[in-house]
Amino acid sequence: SQQGEEDPQALSIQEGENATMNCSYKTSINNLQWYRQNSGRGLVHLILIRSNEREKHSGRLRVTLDTSKKSSSLLITASRAADTASYFCATANPNFGNEKLTFGTGTRLTIIP
Amino acid sequence: EPEVTQTPSHQVTQMGQEVILRCVPISNHLYFYWYRQILGQKVEFLVSFYNNEISEKSEIFDDQFSVERPDGSNFTLKIRSTKLEDSAMYFCASQGDLAKNIQYFGAGTRLSVL
């Protein structure tokens, strides 16, 4: 089974609008993280939310976690052209210890200037 | 800001050849990882390394793969006999503190097997 599925797979919005991406997962987790990947580059850590947290903010980012639904959302407010990238959720599974990250399929976000 | 560095950025090799991908993790980090991303697909875990030994490996990480931390700073991934399907981006990551569980990723090495 797939651990970590984001939707939508692709999202295009106008600069200044808000972007919302969703992630679902299947197994129990210690925490869920969001990473950004610019085209052809490495992964940049954005934010981590623990399993006992429901919402977290960091600058223009807002993450929610619903462990009963095994889902998370990432909201980017007041989007900028520089936010164009792929966004991945990643889970750390307690069965494997706090090490291995399992990534989702990603959402490709395009901000139209 | 400290960063994870990977070399080379692009490696082209013939099928059957050995390749070594190199990574310099953030100093004083203790946990090291390799992941790979086949073009257009999700990032997949390969192996984790702690205290000079493998702590976990995926089913992808078969006998053709090995990891080493030869000198306390570099962390290498070796593929003994490359296959076409090994073509991918390979990412190294390091982590200082399991409690924070933030892994810092390098920019990756693009491996092209011809």
Q: What is the fold of A5-112?
A: Immunoglobulin-like (2.60.40)
Asked whether B101 and A48 are in contact (CB, 8 A), the reply is yes
Of residues B73 and B91, more confidently modeled: B91
From A30, which residue of chain B is nearest by alpha-carbon distance?
B101
Q: A38 CB near a chain B CB, below 8 Å?
A: no
Per-residue pLDDT tens for A47-102? 999 999 999 999 999 999 999 999 999 999 999 999 999 999 998 876 655 578 88
Q: Please give the residue of chain B at the shortest CA–CA distance from A91.
A: B101
Q: Which of A31, A88, A106 sits opposite B101 (nearest CB)?
A: A31
**pLDDT grade for B73, boundaries at 50, 70 and 90:** confident
Q: Which CATH class is domain B5-113?
A: mainly beta
In this prediction, residue A1 carries a pLDDT of 33
Domain residue spans in chain B?
5-113
A41, B107: Cβ pair inside 8 Å?
A: yes
Question: Is the Cβ of A45 closer than 8 Å to some Cβ of chain B?
Answer: yes
Q: Does A35 touch chain B (CB under 8 A)?
A: yes
Dist. CA B13–CA B31, nearest whole Å: 29
- Show Cβ contacts of residue B109 under 8 Å, excluding neighbours closer than 6 positions: B6, B7, B8, B9, B10, B11, B21, B89, B90
**Nearest-angstrom CA–CA distance, A84 and A40:** 13
What pLDDT does residue A2 have?
A: 40
